[in-house]
Chains A and B, each alone.
Chain A
């Protein structure tokens, strides 16, 4: 019955102990400072940075450039990049769908889904550029259509990893009711997937595919730097030979094309997730559709 004395109302409660947080913050700060000091940045070169950037910007866009006569070639290269991204995304989408289903615990279960998840993680761990450089360019070669071919395969394979993981995650979050119903009426495993699982997840998965396409455009625009086709090849040449006015027009083409397609794709994704027009009255013309609910926030972080 020894009730603890009532707290004095004039005294504020103490803030909760934060020692663990403090130690973690200090460790993080120490890691950052150590990296900053030992990574070997020459600080006088940072002072050169504004002048260097101004010089480059000037030569790219103001003084000599942009070289408008190269515009058709730049657009041609960008179109090839878009084609690489498109075909690569389709490869990734087609292969990731069954792999993602197999990687979902509520579809495969047990060891099978774990193994598939690890396979997807392994694929995801290697960036496209590395896949192109290390595997596909040595196999397919460079020059003519071979470069674009290597780039397409690199993008396709990397997309399998990210799309497969997201597909598995979405499938794990479905309502089990329709699956049970499909089983109860005697559906085969394939029929259960087709009528119980896919109708629930397809809108979100198609939105992922579109989002991946946007990311793959950025990836395919740079794959040319390592010789895997697209607009990056011309850009690499222009930078190496100091033809900055030509690099300027290529960069303009990349930025404009990327933003245009992002906008179109964002509109399509919103239609797919929200249906036609019904909930468009939410306001803000500027706002891109919120990705938080669709899981695309997760995929965006796989942009590398």
Chain B
């Protein structure tokens, strides 16, 4: 019996058969890609024009140099506004996201209708991009940093609550049981059994969101929602590419510094 089995096992083992679904998947991927990139049905994307554009682009990119450094002092105030918008929006957005995330997790909210309603609302909030919120709030309260902050708050609730509710889903159930056994009510369970477990993650997510906000708030001004984006809009409308390059370099340095500080903070805190 065994000898026969061993005899049969001579040579290489046969390859496992490919699932027919993987072929369907590859076919679908190629079809969608062709459809999306084609000139007839899609966006007309082809690699040849990348190169023709690169040669054309060189002359336009040359206009970015040298940067007009005389313009730099005039960007300090809007850049500060961008920073302040990010700070305020992160504080309010992450603060609001904390209770929302507890309401959107199975662990802290066993009541199914409440859970379902919250998750659906969160999905809708997350589906809209930040710049779209900015458009809506500019229409509602006029231009300035206020609509920008409001837009960022909604964007932050979407991101933070999603990440946090998943973290809450994954907590160790032991402390929750203990708190329940000691007679804690729902709020006490959340405060003493869940919150201490997820707090480090919450701090890390909040720092990430702050980094995101710095980048996001830099562009909100393009639709009139305050900050440095306003200057970007002006510079591009008047083809002042030398001013644009100053703003670009500034944002670049700013984002980089914030990210370094954030990484350092995260290492110390978490």
Contacts and interface: CB of A to CB of B under 8 A. Distances in A.
Interface of A: 31-32, 35-36, 38-42, 45-46, 48-49, 52-53, 55-56, 80, 82-84, 86-87, 90, 121-122, 125-127, 129-130, 133-135, 137-140, 145, 148-149, 152-153, 218-219, 221-222, 225-226, 229, 232, 235-236, 239, 244, 251, 254-255, 258-259, 262, 284, 286-288, 290-292, 297, 300-304
30 contacts: A31-B87, A32-B91, A35-B88, A36-B88, A39-B85, A39-B145, A39-B149, A49-B140, A52-B139, A55-B140, A80-B43, A82-B36, A125-B215, A125-B255, A135-B57, A135-B61, A138-B60, A138-B236, A139-B57, A148-B44, A149-B43, A149-B53, A218-B129, A226-B222, A259-B123, A262-B123, A284-B106, A292-B166, A297-B163, A301-B212
Contacts, number: 205
Contacts of A122: 252
Contacts of B50: 153
Contacts of B232: 130, 133-134
B114 to A, nearest CB: 12
A235 B135 contact: yes
A38 B132 contact: no
User: When A and B form their complex, which 9 residue pairs have the shortest distance between CB atoms, in order from nearest?
Assistant: A52-B140, A139-B57, A83-B36, A145-B44, A148-B43, A35-B84, A301-B208, A258-B127, A222-B131
Q: How large is the interface on B (under 10, 10 to 19, 20 to 34, 35 or more residues)?
A: 35 or more
Q: Taking chain A's interface residues, is the majority helix, strand, or loop, or is none over half, making it mixed?
A: helix
A301 B103 CA distance: 21
Contacts of B53: 139-140, 149
Contact of A45 (B136, B141, B241): B141
B36 to A, nearest CB: 4
Contacts of A221: 129, 132
B135 A236 contact: yes
Interface string B150-177: 1000010001001100110110000000
Contacts of B123: 259, 262
Nearest to A85: B36
A235 B119 CA distance: 26
A152 B88 contact: no
Nearest to B214: A304
B190 interface: no
A229 B43 contact: yes
Given A36-B88, A145-B44, A225-B131, A130 B219 contact: yes
A284 B104 CA distance: 13
B244 interface: yes
A130 B140 contact: no
